[in-house]
Structure 1
């Protein structure tokens, strides 16, 4: 019997499978393979021949060597099932987020779905799963950027990590801040909800007034003298507006919103800081993220600066 037609058919099926895999960063699910006509025996033969490699129970890589991150994303979704998608920080990473460490790949599946185990995977049923949350673009199935940013914040290991990932998603242009704000409105209960709502307001650029009001409240709560706000000074390059200043003691606190870390603001901020410091004031900086997650540490520094400048200390009738 002539084996050439059968071999040609097998080769054609393999080419179809590999063409599909190339559109998926080199990964194809077993169900997809079988749909192209590739048989289970042919899958095993290609793996034995070293052309392909098995990854988990549902995925096949059509290349050799360690899979890159994008390939792992596809494999994670295939491992989790037909309605699975990347979620949280993993979805942001797939959308292009950089310089944020994502350990385990987070995949969401609906309630009642089977949850499989896999290497480096965090596959979870979630009440927040909804098909409308998927990104409409191509590529690996993943949550829309705004949805992913909010969930990354809710699921982060710490408040600091939550603030960082949401801020980075906006700063890197992965998620639009207005869309993030709308997604936050969907969150009705969570221990981190108020923190993230405040962060979204910061990102929406209600930054200066909100930060200054928070500083005033924090001072009253700690028994510190309340500073003047939006103090006007003259500098070598024109008018300087100081966020808050304790006039009697020459201590300035600059409240740095999210926009202060953007490249176009760094030079102006540094020149303003230096000009005020050269005029004799002590200049402290308070990032709004610090106000949200490390207020005690920063206001301890404010108290040290005031005390060093001659403030007599807290009054016994300190406000509660």
Structure 2
């Protein structure tokens, strides 16, 4: 009897491994223990494969069916699977899965609906969210994740600082992961949050409201710091017609150009450079202030403005640095 059962047992085990390998290929090599057990793999077989170093464990509930370095896609799948069957990548992690490049996270964020089981894990940050909506899930392949415009808003609200929140939103728009208008629409769903006003300001800038909003903020900062009142939106004439300078101190030969998100676009770079050069040839000093800098590094930029005014002999600002 034993000799008849052994080939059958080996055949069943091989069939189970094939099912596991097929499923693993669709998830970049990552499988939850729940999926392994559903495929017929026993707990003893999981332990044996881990002990033999054919597989590796990622967190408490996920196994990767190889022992090599983890690709980004594998890490993202492992994070999502760690949250359970209703979990989805959220915030910056969802944006990274959608193609955001160059933004680093300490742990990947996964959201689950209220009432779902939540546990501590050093690999993934699983949290319940009261903003859970079934229609917020993104279409397409890869691990389940929140739609990019919703994830951008949540990522900004959950960021460690205002600086990180503004950087995330700007990168999302610049890299084309989500357009500013859809982020603005998603932001309308948020009624209360300690960072809501700041995020609204940043999204307004990204939507193109930079002229009025940023210049009002600039004037407010000048008054707060005791700087002389500049002239705003000064008309100059160049080779290709008229253009406007955002902020000018004529008496001290200083111009500050407040750059919105549109200045990062290719079609604006040449025009900006020509205008900058025209102004410089007129023996004026030109400083550039990105709107993002006004949001997250105002002190550093205004220190430069004060130094330029002092160097030009503006009274009350002390000697040039």
Q: Are 1:254 and 1:285, in contact at CA under 8 Å, matched by a contact in 2?
A: yes
Which of 13, 16, 25 is equivalent to 1:13?
Answer: 16
Displacement of 1:273 in angstroms is: 1.6
Equivalent residue number for residue 76 of structure 2: 73
SS of the residue aligned with 2:45?
Answer: helix
Displacement of 1:49 in angstroms is: 4.3
1:153 has 2:141 as partner: no
Moved more, 300-309 or 152-161: 300-309
Distance in 1 separating the partners of 2:216 and 2:64: 55
CA distance change for structure 1 residues 312 and 45 in 2, over 3 Å: closer, same or farther?
A: closer
Distance in 2 separating the partners of 1:95 and 1:157: 21
Q: TM-score when scaled to structure 2? A: 0.89
Equivalent residue number for residue 25 of structure 1: 28
Gaps of 5+ in 1: 315-320
- Per-residue CA deviations over 1:21-68 (Å, capped at 9, x if unaligned) read 110011111221222233333333433444333333321211122322
Which of 246, 266, 269 is equivalent to 1:266?
Answer: 269
Equivalent residue number for residue 237 of structure 2: 234
Which of 123, 126, 147 is equivalent to 2:126?
Answer: 123
SS of the residue aligned with 1:248?
Answer: helix
Moved more, 194-203 or 212-221: 212-221
Gaps of 5+ in 2: none
Q: Are 2:82 and 2:124, in contact at CA under 8 Å, matched by a contact in 1?
A: no
CA distance change for structure 1 residues 309 and 55 in 2, over 3 Å: closer, same or farther?
A: closer
Distance in 2 separating the partners of 1:119 and 1:294: 32
Distance in 1 separating the partners of 2:49 and 2:251: 79
SS of the residue aligned with 2:127?
Answer: strand
RMSD: 2.1
CA distance change for structure 1 residues 231 and 53 in 2, over 3 Å: closer, same or farther?
A: same
Distance in 1 separating the partners of 2:299 and 2:62: 49
Equivalent residue number for residue 45 of structure 2: 42
Equivalent residue number for residue 246 of structure 2: 243
